[in-house]
Amino acid sequence: MGEFEGWSKWVEPAFLLWKPEDPDYERPVYDPEKAKFTAQEELDRMREQVNQSDGFDIDFDHFRCVFNYHRAYLDDGEFGEFGDEPETTEDFLKRLSHKSLEDYNLNEKRKFEFVRVVKSNFHFSAGLMFLITFEVIDPYDSEIKPFQARVRYLNDTFTEYVFCRPKPNAGVEYFGNAKTDVEKGFKKQRLE
């Protein structure tokens, strides 16, 4: 095992890039009613949100400062230059989510079905590290449930599907198989 193997699974610590008074400051989109904190308070809040959610759940409306974590806007073409066909950021994230879920289903012997991308954050990480929250249908109860994927991407050079998982602490049960498949598994276990 190499010295740096597994580094892409680490949660990138949040850090401040620019404050509003900095000369190179580019104003991010935020809610003026919510963004009423000092730069240090924003940094503390950003770090707390990153640490609590592994970088997936960040409320960017609270931040006037610019950090290493950024919101991906689903309806624009910020990442649409990747690949052969022009696409929206949402289309691009759908492709990454589909492949993540496909790999997860194969490895875990599950049958979750992709529904839609809900949101995504990203940071730079020898490419871009996308933290995607998306929804799936659980074939067991036909309920829509939240999933997360971490994917590192560098143009068309490589794509690393770091992990895909049910969203932790979402307050729902995940099965991933049809009710009849689960019931067969329980009966088989009882017979053994």
In a domain, 4, yes or no: no
Mean pLDDT of the chain: 87
> Do the domain assignments include residue 144?
yes
* pLDDT tens digits along 37-53: 999 999 999 999 999 99
The answer to whether the beta carbons of residues 60 and 29 sit under 8 Å apart is yes
104 in the same domain as 62: no
Query: Mean pLDDT, to the nearest integer, of 166-192?
Result: 72
Question: 97 and 144 in one domain?
Answer: yes
Tokens for 20?
A: 């509003």
> Can you tell me the distance from the alpha carbon of 61 to that of 12, in angstroms, rounded to the nearest whole number?
20
Q: Is residue 111 domain-shared with residue 169, that is, in the same domain?
A: yes
Per cent of the chain over pLDDT 70 is 85
Q: Is there a single domain that holds both residue 63 and residue 93?
A: no
81 or 139, higher pLDDT: 139
Q: Supply the CATH number for residue 168's domain.
A: 3.10.450.10
Name the burial class of residue 128, with classes exposed (0-12), middle (13-18) and buried (19+) by CB atoms within 10 angstroms of its CB.
middle
The better pLDDT of the pair 67, 183 is held by 67
Residue 21 lies in a domain: yes
Pair (122, 49) in one structural domain: no
* DSSP letter assigned to residue 48: H
Identify whether 104 is part of a domain.
yes
Identify whether residues 63 and 128 lie together within a single domain: no
Reported as a single tens digit per residue, the pLDDT across 9-23 is 788 999 999 999 999
Assigned domain for 77 exists: no
Kindly state whether residue 95 falls inside one of the protein's structural domains.
Answer: yes
Say if residue 123 is in the same domain as residue 154.
yes
Q: How many domains does the chain contain in total?
A: 2
- For the chain, give percent helix, strand, coil, nearest 5: 30, 25, 45
In a shared domain, residues 120 and 152: yes
AA letter at 190: R
Rounded to the nearest angstrom, the gap between the alpha carbon of residue 153 and the centroid of all alpha carbons in its chain is: 13
Helix count (H) and strand count (E) of the chain? 3, 7
- 38 belongs to a structural domain: yes
CA atoms of 121 and 162, how far apart (whole Å): 15
State whether 63 and 95 are in the same domain. no
**How many angstroms separate the CA atoms of 189 and 55, rounded?**
38
Beta-carbon contacts of 176 under 8 Å, excluding residues fewer than 6 positions away, are: 105, 108, 110, 111, 112, 138, 139, 140
| 16/96 same-domain check | no
Note whether 130 and 63 are same-domain residues.
no
Domain housing 158: 89-180
pLDDT, tens digit (0-9, with 9 covering 90-100), for 113-157: 999 999 999 999 888 999 999 999 999 999 999 999 999 998 878
Confidence bin at 4 (pLDDT 50/70/90): very low
Q: What are phi and psi for residue 60, nearest 5 degrees?
A: -70, -15
- Specify whether 100 is located in the same domain as 61: no
